[in-house]
Amino acid sequence: MVAEAGMVMRADVVYDAYKAVKTDHTKVIYMSPQGKTLNQKKVEDLAKENHLIILCGHYEGIDQRVIDKIVDEEISIGDYVLTGGEIPAMVLIDSVSRYIKGVIKEESVQEESFSNGLLEYPQYTRPEIFEGEKVPEVLLSGHHENIEKWRQAKSLEITKKKRPDLLENK
């Protein structure tokens, strides 16, 4: 079945579902191309919320009256349109859940891309030599201060090359 142009989710149906799951501490996020673009700061802030409801429109979206009544914030994952908000909701859930205690080790989220405003440094593992390319000597040295300096320099180098826009606000 092909969706008809202009199909909109009914306000009463969405509102009844909302009432069935809301609490006193609920924050409602509507996944929408009209929302502010999701970024790392927003992800970390949302991870601190007690109860999130993620509202996903489909086709043309949701009746504006229910959006006006229950939505606290609209979030977009980029400047493009999908058939529905389910995939953006999965992106939001995955990125936020990483900051929930017990999901992954806390130190795992401290040195990632965007956690300090830069892209992450390169990662290496065994074997020490692969296809003629060696793991950088500093990483094999065991000298933690030099390793940290190398990581910071590489993060800056990669960010300048791949995402210089991230350095504009620094």
Give me the pLDDT at residue 76, please.
Answer: 98
Q: For residue 84, what is the DSSP state?
A: B
pLDDT of residue 2: 65
- At 130 the pLDDT is 98
pLDDT of residue 110: 76
Both 89 and 150 in one domain: the answer is: no
CB 30 within 8 A of CB 55: yes
pLDDT at 1: 59
Last residue of a domain, one of 66, 97, 128: 97
Same domain, 21 and 89: yes
- Please identify every stretch of the chain with a pLDDT value under 70, giving residue numbers as ranges: 1-4, 169-170
Domain that holds residue 162: 111-167
Cβ(25)–Cβ(50) under 8 Å? Answer: yes
Q: Are residues 24 and 71 in the same domain?
A: yes
| pTM, entire model | 0.84
CATH of the domain at 45: 3.40.1280.10
pLDDT in tens, 93-141: 999 999 999 999 887 777 788 878 899 999 999 999 999 999 999 999 9
Q: Which helix (H) or strand (E) holds 51?
A: strand 51-56
Q: How far apart are CA 80 and CA 55, in angstroms?
A: 18
Same domain, 82 and 126: no
- Please indicate, yes or no, whether residues 67 and 121 belong to a single structural domain of this protein: no
Instruction: Read off the CATH number of the domain in which 128 is found.
Output: 1.10.1270.20
What's the confidence (pLDDT) of residue 3? 60
The pLDDT assigned to 58 comes to 87
> For position 108, what pLDDT does the model report?
79
pLDDT at position 4:
67
Cα–Cα–Cα angle for 36, 44, 79, rounded to 5 degrees: 25
Rounded to the nearest 5°, which phi and psi values hold at 161? -75, -45
